Amino acid sequence: MGISYHENKRIFKLDTPKSTYMIGIVDEENFIGHVYYGRRVVDEDLSYLLRTSEGARVPSKNNRDRVSFMDSFPVEYPTHGIGDFRETCLSVKSKLGHSACSLSYISHRIYPDKPKLTGLPSTFGDSESCTTLELICEDKVLKLQVVLVYTVFEKLDAITRSVRILNASEDCIYLTKVLSACLDMDNREYDMLTLYGLWSRERMINRRRITDGKQLISSLRGISSHQEQPFMAILDKDANEDQGEVYGLHLVYSGNFMAQAEISQFGLLRATIGINPVDFSWKLEKGESFISPEAVLVYSSEGIGQMTRTFHDLYRSHLIRGEYRDKKRPILINNWEATYFDFNSEKLLSIAREASRLGIEMLVIDDGWFGARDDDNCALGDWVVNEAKLKGGMPYLATEINKLGMKLGLWFEPEMISPDSDLYRSHPDWAIQIPGRTGALNRNQLVLDISRKEVRDAIYDSISKVLHSANIEYVKWDMNRCLTDLGSACLEADTQGELYHRYVLGLYELQERLISDFPQLLLENCSSGGGRFDPGMLYYSPQIWCSDDTDAIERLSIQEGTSLIFPLSTMGAHIADCPSHSNGRSTPFATRGYVALAGTFGYELDITKIPEEDRQLIPEQVAMYHKYNDLVRTGDYYRIASYQSNHEYDCIQVVAKDKKEALVTYIQVLARPNYRTRRIRLKGLCEDMIYRIEETGLVLSGGALMHAGIQIDNMWGDYLGKIIHILAVN
């Protein structure tokens, strides 16, 4: 494993345990070609795949057809304006107004370890787990240096890519497009798999054939969005959970993005991913640098499931940070669906007393504890405790909660401002807006311009003052609207195109400051539910609220799409009230618990008002969580059946790394008349190991459990579930 350079062949070879990525330097002009990415090979040179001996050949031998060469050559990092008419990764505007850019290889560095990306979240590693290649390239006319950075993870089939651009000229250069990664491959009738959705229906799986032309997913909302995820997979047409080649691309970024697959006129496939170039530009002065977000590439020759497990392992070990990365999270109860804005100290304490008695470990106060906030029309930005509502303020409430043996958490929405707020009346120019235009409201709120340091400092000072005032151990950071009316009072006319990206950089700086100053804090990100559930935010918070739709049956599909690329430990999942506040559906309390067990597990209801039979189940659910969470949080995830696909039932399995324990969660969504049992075949076990099913006492080999399967009784009624615990026999 690792990275090697074969100088006589001018080939860079990047090896992971089961994949090889190969780059070649071509011709006198040092074009950088993408040679191969796929199943691991021992060969040091596959440069024949570049087809430089065919057709147009290389410019040094056939300069009359340079454009033909550029429009078909598999380029490692394609640039605009020089004859490559496919999607490119880099375009500029020079002082003369020209947009062309051409890169040539100059030199390289190979070293152990992995560099940080200044101001940006990224995966991390050390000299024992990572090797990095830097390809230094140059546009000699523009005097623009472009460094292509690749890191190989020694124990995972994952490679990360980013780009660092330096202006070495005397003049400013405007970057108008900077993508993070490109893959050029022959098309083999590939499919494209993406995650689409909307508020309360996030991350639905969409798979379709890649056809001629461009197939694009993107966000222009200022966030990664409910509608799309900055992820796509390119996969064999016959690939399924357990077999077939899969290439996963995921952008570690929380703002506007684009990911695209394109079939060219010659039947070649180009996949690209990075910051959305729409409304983006960046003024690069002499000596200044720009760094692109990181793209994560995962290869699997064993189907979608293996891609999923690689992403899970990578993010758990090399992206998530902090005290709670490898730690069981406290079981919390959030008062939002219990009270909305209608609460006071005594109401909260009544919920806490009952919750504590039943084994719940944290009370989270959601929206409505600050300023004059009795509905969602005012006071965002006024982060001062409303002591008319919360007598004694936060110190009193925290003390009383702690006396019950519970922790206290708070909801904030720091990026927003209400026109009806003291903050807006004092600083109306702090809102993102275009002079002369009436700003568009959403949820009756505007967005603060956190690209400005004074705005970030004011937000942070008000939040940290509240957190310092009492023993607050959890923060839910929400963001409930998209960005519109893009204008900043502090940017010049020729740098307004930087606002989207500067906003995201400001967000990252704020959250880095928060977790640095409060290292014991459990931070959970949220954006109207799952509107900013992306790997960029996971760098700052180990969990993200998965969706505002808390209905257990809807959550099956939402959590399936989320767990396709994100570890179960990251998915904020609660047992909510019924009938569901999302869709009016009623599901059994036990089933809601089984579904929430696949995430962080908590409660979102008024525990003092639920039926007694439900209340009595809570201690059992708490015990279930404590028994299985270590396995759920750290084990290998396997999907056995998809309710989103079959419309009848859902089944997932988590297997311990040592193969000695497994947990199966089975949800019967719709009962079937006149059926006997349903057979399911387990996955991921050791063939020769002997296992016992805890619930029945049945003893079988791993081979029998996986190939012959087990029988699941047809339960009487819809929306029912069960868990099956499997242990190796000593």
Burial class (CB in 10 A: 0-12, 13-18, 19+), 12: buried
Is 15 marked active-site? no
Is residue 326 assigned to a domain?
no
CATH number of residue 224's parent domain: 2.70.98.60
pLDDT over 90 (residue 35): yes
User: Residue 493's pLDDT band (boundaries 50, 70, 90)?
Assistant: very high
Same domain, 587 and 605: yes
Which pLDDT score is estimated for 15? 98
From the candidates 184, 366, 548, 577, which is the catalytic residue? 548
pTM, to two decimals: 0.97
pLDDT in the model for residue 201: 96
What is the C-alpha to C-alpha distance for residues 604 and 190, in angstroms, rounded to an integer? 42
pLDDT tens digits along 100-136: 999 999 999 999 999 999 999 999 999 999 999 999 9
Residue 294 placed within a domain: yes
Provide mean pLDDT across the span 379-405: 97
Q: Are residues 619 and 666 in the same domain?
A: no
**36 located within any domain:** yes
Q: How high is the pLDDT of residue 60?
A: 86
What percent of the residues of the chain are helix, what percent strand, and what percent coil, each to the nearest 5?
25, 30, 45
Q: Which strand (E) or helix (H) includes residue 263?
A: strand 257-263
Structure tokens at 328: 């069981």
Compute the average pLDDT of residues 476-504. 97
How many percent of the chain have pLDDT more than 90?
A: 97
Q: Find the angle CA(649)-CA(653)-CA(658) to the nearest 5 degrees.
A: 170
Q: What is the mean pLDDT of residues 530-534?
A: 97
Last residue of a domain, one of 633, 667, 682: 633
32 or 676: which carries more pLDDT confidence?
Answer: 32
Residue 550 sits in the same domain as residue 623: yes
The mean pLDDT value of the chain amounts to: 97
pLDDT tens, position by position, 603-632: 999 999 999 999 999 999 999 999 999 999
Q: What is the pLDDT of residue 61?
A: 87
Q: 264 and 368: one domain?
A: no
How far is it, in rounded angstroms, from Cα 107 to Cα 138?
Answer: 10
Q: Which residues lie below 8 Å from residue 643, measured CB to CB, with a gap of 6+?
A: 553, 556, 557, 560, 649, 650, 667, 669
Whether residue 346 is found in the same domain as residue 311:
no
Kindly state whether residue 327 falls inside one of the protein's structural domains: no
**458 and 513: one domain?**
yes
Q: 633, 653, 688 — which closes off a domain?
A: 633
Q: Are residues 267 and 397 in the same domain?
A: no
Are 184 and 258 in the same domain?
yes
422 in helix, strand or coil?
A: helix
Q: How confident is the model over 40-81, as pLDDT tens digits? A: 999 999 999 999 988 668 888 889 989 989 999 999 999 999
Q: What's the pLDDT tens digit per position in 639-688?
A: 999 999 999 999 999 999 999 999 999 999 999 998 889 999 999 999 99
673-684 burial code (b ≥16 CB/10 A, e <16): eeeeebebebbb
621 and 692: one domain?
A: no
Q: Considering the domain boundaries, does residue 325 fall inside one? A: no
Active site residue 478: yes
Which listed residue (157, 367, 449, 478) is catalytic?
478
* Position 324 in a domain: no
Domain count, the chain: 3
| One domain for residues 461 and 586 | yes
Through-space distance between the first and last CA atoms of the chain, rounded to whole angstroms: 35
- What is the percentage of the chain residues whose pLDDT exceeds 70? 100
* CB distance 222 to 500 below 8 Å: yes
CB within 8 A of 249, min separation 6: which ones?
181, 183, 231, 232, 233, 234, 259, 271, 273, 295, 296, 297
Report pLDDT digits (tens) over 320-369: 999 999 999 999 999 999 999 999 999 999 999 999 999 999 999 999 99
Query: What's the rounded mean pLDDT across residues 509-535?
Result: 97
Q: How far apart are CA 586 and CA 609, in angstroms?
A: 16
Mean pLDDT across 464-491: 97
Rounded mean pLDDT, 485-493:
96
Q: Which residues contact 186 (CB under 8 A, 6 or more apart)?
A: 267, 268, 269
Backbone angles phi, psi at 525, to 5 degrees: -85, 155
Residue 183 has pLDDT above 70, yes or no: yes
- 650 with 617, same domain: the answer is no
Identify the pLDDT of residue 56.
Answer: 66
- Among 253, 286, 318, identify where a domain stops: 318
Q: Are residues 31 and 67 in the same domain?
A: yes
For the stretch 46-50, contacts whose Cβ atoms lie closer than 8 Å and that sit 24 or more positions apart, written own/partner, are 46/11, 46/22, 47/9, 47/11, 49/74, 50/24, 50/26, 50/74
Query: How far is Cα 166 from Cα 145, in angstroms, rounded to an integer?
Result: 5
Domain containing residue 683: CATH number:
2.60.40.1180
- Mean pLDDT for 279-307 is 98
Q: What is the pLDDT of residues 189-220, one digit of tens each?
A: 999 999 999 999 999 999 999 999 999 999 99
Query: Which structural domain, as residue segments, surrounds residue 210?
Result: 2-318
Judge whether 581 lies within some domain.
Answer: yes
